[in-house]
Amino acid sequence: MTNTLKELSTKSAKKIVLLVMDGVGGLPREPGGKTELETARTPNLDALAATAECGLHLPIGYGITPGSAPGHLALFGYDPLEFPIGRGVVAATGVAFPMKPGDVAARLNFATLDPAGAISDRRAGRIPTEKCGQLCELLKAVSIKGVEVSVRPVKDYRAVVVFRGKGLSDLVADTDPQIQGVKPLDPVATDPKGERTAQVTKDFVAQARKILASQTPANGVLMRGFAELPHIPSLQDLYQLSPVALAVYPDYKGIARLVGMEAIEDLADLEAQAKALPTVWESHDFFFIHHKYTDSKGEDGDFDEKVKEIEKVDAFLPRVLAMKPDLIIVTGDHSTPAVAKAHTSHPVPFLIAGEGVRSDGTQKFGERACARGLWGTISGQMLLRIALSYTGKLKKFGA
Amino acid sequence: MTNTLKELSTKSAKKIVLLVMDGVGGLPREPGGKTELETARTPNLDALAATAECGLHLPIGYGITPGSAPGHLALFGYDPLEFPIGRGVVAATGVAFPMKPGDVAARLNFATLDPAGAISDRRAGRIPTEKCGQLCELLKAVSIKGVEVSVRPVKDYRAVVVFRGKGLSDLVADTDPQIQGVKPLDPVATDPKGERTAQVTKDFVAQARKILASQTPANGVLMRGFAELPHIPSLQDLYQLSPVALAVYPDYKGIARLVGMEAIEDLADLEAQAKALPTVWESHDFFFIHHKYTDSKGEDGDFDEKVKEIEKVDAFLPRVLAMKPDLIIVTGDHSTPAVAKAHTSHPVPFLIAGEGVRSDGTQKFGERACARGLWGTISGQMLLRIALSYTGKLKKFGA
């Protein structure tokens, strides 16, 4: 189907906005009650829904709880099962490290090793991010012939390392044994292609150990999730789009870049996103706007705060509509009900408004209202192609 | 997807009930009328539906009328097209014969052969089951070197034979020509792997012919549907479940055992099932409860009696809910409308109640009401995975 879509794609001047409230799908606080979205006062979203085609979408599939990366891949029109994104890549793109094809990234945890070399604390007492940054600076001293080594802090004791050089591969097993009281595992190739990277990793770990020897409590490193960039065909290549991402969090800029989007830097909040939109409007035709805090508040278990975040997006919506996009999709990448304090598999409400839609009379943008919308419950991977076709970006199939 | 689900599966203490009214889906007696389920007084099911996510499911696919075995496989989360269950296996599991991997089962019909050896009656005058049992006893005298032969009566002129031994295979063609006036076909291997079984079958048929020579009218045997146990990964293996079946009919215990369920023996009716449930509650986390007679009455064409059977299950429901399952699915394995007197392809109503559901306001558990439920019409194979994810038995996919 991907090849067919690519063959059908055609350039058009029409502009599509994809507005994502991360983790917007929710659950009632008590049985029979309303979800966060149903509770929120959303006059602008409701007015838009009344002109729209609505439904619920499953980002990956029935019963599958999406991580953020696969949830977004689905919204960008990809099958997340076809393009698994490794932990190392998520970490690297998350801190906006510009990975290139052939680079190998891995998650790095600073850990505490006892005098015998066994792991006494896998998280080095959860050192603060600032300390993590200082340790990453120290690791700049690592030198491996023919390999460029980059280490970047992520959060707390977590960092990411990227190896760049010839003949590298992600076919290397974790060195993190995931338990304490034992030594870190030796890096082992899981395939002959991984031999060189295993050797590089061994060298890296040994040098890191020496550099960190006098540090307390973080005197060692554990590595997991070795990953290369997935070979994802870009949105330009597939659909001739000129896509741009307006996201605050690095993770989402990273995922957007993986599919070929330009990602605007230094956007602090919705206000900054609203101001940036006109500056990129003429030069692009696909606008991914991402709001993180609906998910964050859901993860915190804070129903009321999640409601407020949805209301903030509702207040922001007119500034997007003021640009007069030809078509706008409003949805989430997965559900993060406050009562669950986690991502869940529940289908996510969506609306498609603008060019060529059959409005279905949905009066309120919410889970139960959208379930009765025109589309019912469909795969999240279909939203983009519906938008493309409604805006003349997919030609007729067959004579 | 199966491998993905297996990787995501995780043990949780939550308990899931799958309550199946066999063949519950129905049709109106006259155009514009109500189905059996819509006619039935079901206050308990209706109250549960009001707290539930509802929909219709297609066990196998659009327009496909499910047999009992594939219909249940779908409810257990399997693709019935991926795991065909041969006629011989259905017959053997149907009489609770404990088949093992490598065993080959075949349906056996007692038939009448004329003096020249041609088939004069493929069903031996539909001899009663009792007589069939006596003939099966006589066939115990069959002796084949290296092969353990078991023959069990099924119903009327129908029996099942199971061969156990080394090097057997189900790649053998039927000996039943399906017409009268010709001799039974010689057992022929459809692949070199079936040679030994074809030889064993030839030997069995010849000995049976001698043993039955003086019998009237059943003096010969016809065999069809040679089948080995399908290699179905168990629910334990896939989802780390501890499943148990509470079914009255042997067929359903058999199908349940095929997917790794423990099956409780000697349950005479719903009362016995209700009493047995607390005895297995602590030791299991997945409970398949099966009621056969909704289907039987549908097959009989008895609309009113099917309504009564549904009402019996409604009265039984509170005893299940008293166990406080974390989640309950109520549905059927296919439709058996009384007006059709047979299984049909019509989608089957379902409700999912309990942990993490978004109740959709369905007021009556019935076909048309469920069609307007939150899920619309989906594949029956999705119900289990939705239940697993809502009860925390499937982890998040991707970072």
What are the chain B neighbours of A295 within 8 Å (beta carbons)? none
CB contact under 8 A, A66 and B388: no
What percent of chain A shows pLDDT beyond 90? 89
Closest of B130, B127, B149, B122 to residue B207, by C-alpha: B149
Do residue A345 and residue B389 have CB atoms under 8 angstroms apart?
A: yes
Do A64 and B389 lie within an 8 Å CB cutoff? Answer: yes
- Distance of alpha carbon B261 from alpha carbon B257, whole angstroms: 5
Nearest CB to B388: which of A28, A63, A342? A63
Q: Which of A29, A38, A65 to substitute to test the interface with B, most B CBs within 10 Å? A: A65
Q: Helix, strand, or coil here: A355?
A: coil
| Rounded Cα distance, A336 and A348, in Å | 10
Q: Tell me, what's the pLDDT at A1?
A: 85
* Chain A: residue whose CA lies nearest to B358: A27
Query: What residues pair up with A348 in beta bridges, in sequence order?
Result: A57
pLDDT > 90? residue A91? no
Give pLDDT, residue B398: 85
Of A32, A344, A372, Cβ closest to residue B356: A344
| pLDDT given for residue A94 in this prediction | 75
Q: Do A368 and B375 touch (CB under 8 A)?
A: no
Q: Which uninterrupted H or E stretch holds A254?
A: helix A250-258
Q: pLDDT exceeding 70 applies to what percent of chain B?
A: 100
Nearest CA-CA distance, residue A311 and chain B, Å: 21
Residues in chain A closer than 8 A to B358 (CB atoms): 27-28, 35, 346, 367-368
CB pairs under 8 A between A and B: 91
Comparing CA positions, the residue from A122, A163, A172 lying closest to residue A145 is A163
Contact by Cβ (8 Å): B317, B353: no
The answer to whether the beta carbons of residues A358 and A386 sit under 8 Å apart is no
Burial class from Cβ neighbours inside 10 Å (0-12, 13-18, 19+) for residue B75 reads buried
Instruction: Identify the CA nearest to A144 among candidates A102, A202, A57.
Output: A202
Q: Which two tokens stand for residue A260?
A: 């070929």
**A391: contact with B, CB 8 A cutoff:** no
Largest CA distance in chain B: 74
Cα–Cα distances in angstroms (integers) from residue B165 to residues B100, B112, B142, in the given order: 10, 29, 15
Question: Residue A353: enclosing H or E segment and its boundaries?
Answer: strand A348-354
What are the tens digits of pLDDT across the range A140-184? Answer: 999 999 999 999 998 889 999 999 999 999 999 999 998 999 999
**Residue A232 CA from chain centroid, whole number:** 14
What's chain A's average pLDDT? 95
User: What is the block-wise mean pLDDT of chain B (399 residues), using blocks of 10 residues?
Assistant: 92 97 97 97 98 97 94 97 90 85 95 96 94 97 97 93 96 95 96 97 97 95 94 95 94 89 93 98 98 96 98 98 98 98 97 96 96 96 98 92
Tens of pLDDT along A256-265? 989 999 999 8
pLDDT, tens digit (0-9, with 9 covering 90-100), for A38-57: 999 999 999 999 999 999 99
Tokens of B10: 């995780």
- pLDDT band at residue A98 using 50, 70 and 90 as cut-offs: confident
Distance (Å, rounded) from C-alpha B319 to C-alpha B281? 13
